[in-house]
Amino acid sequence: MTESEDLQPPLPPSKTRLKQAAHELQALGARLVDLPKDRLQGLGLPEALFDAVRECQSITRHEARRRQLQYIGRLMRDVDPENIEAQFSIWDGTSAAEVALQHSIERWRERLMADDSALTELASAHPGCDTRQLRTLMRNARREYAQKKPPRSHRELFRALRAILSPAAAGDAIGSD
């Protein structure tokens, strides 16, 4: 290779690659259309894209919907798709961090169900958590399990633990077991 070949700018993407990228953005836009309004608002989309997605959700005619999806794909060119894809991976449960958090919450819940001293350990690891509420949920979940009732309190315990552990790192004190 000569020096002049090394200094040449890289070639622009091929027409095929540009079309593939456009189709990928349109597919991501179609996933946005399938979202409920509250999740859609949580993504922080630009107003034009948000409005286009909301409008597409109300369109029932096939051809009109197809054109609206193309328009959404065009608007998606101005948005960083990585943030949206990352949020989808969290919702889909494919995010490694989210999976680790789920496992951590599940381990805490199992420990709390098995041993009362785990509550003291949780309270020391996460000061400010409502131990009274957790103790009530533990007691109710154990009672439900013994009576073979639906696991309502068991789920509530999971939600309470998620609220406590979500801002913390997934590999906290329970991860060292």
Q: Is 2 exposed, middle or buried (0-12, 13-18, 19+ CB in 10 A)?
A: exposed
Note the pLDDT tens digit of each residue in 55-68: 999 989 999 999 99
Q: Please name the fold of domain 15-92.
A: Diphtheria Toxin Repressor; domain 2 (1.10.60)
Per-chain mean pLDDT for the chain: 82
Say what percent of the chain tops pLDDT 90.
Answer: 13
Compare 146 and 91 and report the one with higher pLDDT.
146
- Sorted by sequence, the CB contacts under 8 Å of residue 22 that are 6+ apart come out as 73, 77
CA 45 to chain centroid:
16
pLDDT at 153: 87
CATH 1.10.60.30 intervals, the chain = 15-92, 96-176
Asked if residues 87 and 150 have their Cβ atoms less than 8 Å apart, the reply is no
pLDDT at 34 over 80: yes
Residue ranges of alpha helices (H) inside 11-61 are 15-33, 37-42, 47-58
**Domain at 96-176: CATH code:** 1.10.60.30
Say what percent of the chain tops pLDDT 70.
Answer: 86
pLDDT at 176 over 60: no
Token pair of 21 as six digits: 């990228």
Please tell me the distance from the alpha carbon of residue 137 to that of residue 160, in angstroms, as a whole number: 9
| E strand map for 104-167 | none
